[in-house]
Homo-oligomer: A and B are copies of this chain.
Amino acid sequence: MAHLPQVLVFGPPTIFTQFEPQYSHKYHFLNAWASSLPLDQFLHTHNYEPSSIQAILCAGGGTPVTVHVLSVLSSVKLIVTTSAGLDHIDLLECRRRGIQVAGAGSLFSEEVAEMAVGLLIDAMRKISAADRYVRQRVHSGPWDFPLGSKLGGKRVGIVGLGSIGFEVAKRLEAFGCSIFYNSRKEKPFISYPFYSSVVELAANSNALVICCALTEQTRHIINKEVLLALGKEGVMVNIGRGALVDEKELVRCLIEGEIGGAGLDVFENEPHVPEELFGLDNVVLSPHAAALLKSLPLICVTLWQGI
């Protein structure tokens, strides 16, 4: 092993463990994801030499690659992340150090978009809640599950019309939805009406789908004001990043019925999910799985070959 390039592996192992065997003869993987120790102690405990580590493999929603992490790993030249978002990586520090960063870009846009639509149908038609209702029934009387709302014909506001947002819009049009959007700026050659204000977009939409990248500008872009504008019948889907939404406000709005429902693939402090949500029927909870699919290990291999 001593002669193999050392690669530190962070973050949820869901994908990594599936393709590790194919590459373990080429790289020496240091599986930090399998340890609960802080990085320094993890390296020390295993007698790993920090300056021998040449690359980091990570994923969105996992351990962030901070300035501190990078300062420990003085020889890192490449970071590969299996996510489209790069918010967990300190890009400024990478630029300063000349560290290359490779992300998934739009590779998973279709996968994430179909999950967004699935969560939206689920939240509106109450599919997960209905499934729970059927499984928990002990009596045999007539079904009296509460009615859901039709998705078709609804006005859907897309926050962040990038490659994922476009794929979401395309699918929702086939359901007869009208599409509106907010983005950093109005896009040329796009016929969907643009709203420069997220609050106005929410006020004029039956549902919001949050697809933008997490940056300092977009942190908590979905705040109390936006949620109240979305209103008691409105549904919100977040497949971007948890911190795009003020989660405390979202939880309150769901508990108090200030919004109609939500479909959440991401959370502010993953893998923590606010426990107040566990008893609610107006929310669908998913463990940051929008891009996690049986077909992904193959795609990751492509990324991986960049190392």
Instruction: Give the B-binding residues of A (Cβ under 8 A).
Output: 11-14, 33, 62, 110-111, 114-115, 117-119, 121-122, 125-128, 130-135, 137, 140-145, 147-152, 170-171, 173-176, 270-273, 278, 284-289, 292-296
Contact = CB atoms under 8 A, between A and B. Distances in A.
Contact of A121 (B110, B117, B273, B293): B117
B125 A128 contact: no
A174 B176 contact: no
Given A118-B127, A132-B132, A134-B287, A293 B142 contact: no
Nearest first, the 6 A-B pairs at minimum CB distance are A174-B174, A118-B121, A143-B287, A134-B285, A128-B131, A128-B128
A122 B114 contact: no
A294 B142 contact: no
Given A134-B273, A152-B110, A278-B135, A145 B33 contact: no
Q: How many copies of the shown chain assemble into the complex? A: 2
Contacts of A125: 114-115, 118, 289, 293
A149 B125 CA distance: 22
Contacts of A176: 110
Contacts of A14: 143-145, 147
A171 B118 CA distance: 12
Contacts of A33: 142
Nearest to A290: B125
26 contacts: A13-B144, A14-B147, A111-B150, A111-B152, A114-B150, A114-B152, A115-B121, A118-B118, A118-B121, A118-B122, A118-B125, A118-B127, A128-B128, A128-B131, A130-B286, A131-B285, A134-B273, A134-B287, A137-B273, A143-B271, A143-B289, A145-B289, A147-B296, A148-B292, A150-B294, A170-B174
Given A170-B174, A171-B174, A130 B285 contact: yes
Contact of A150 (B110, B134, B141): B110
Given A122-B118, A132-B132, A171-B174, A288 B152 contact: no
B295 A149 contact: yes
A272 B33 CA distance: 45
Contacts of A140: 271-272
Contacts of A134: 273, 278, 285-287
Contacts of A117: 121, 175
Contacts of A174: 170-171, 173-174
Given A119-B127, A287-B145, A175 B114 contact: yes
B150 A285 contact: no
A14 B62 CA distance: 44
Given A135-B285, A286-B134, A141 B271 contact: yes
Contacts of A12: 142-144
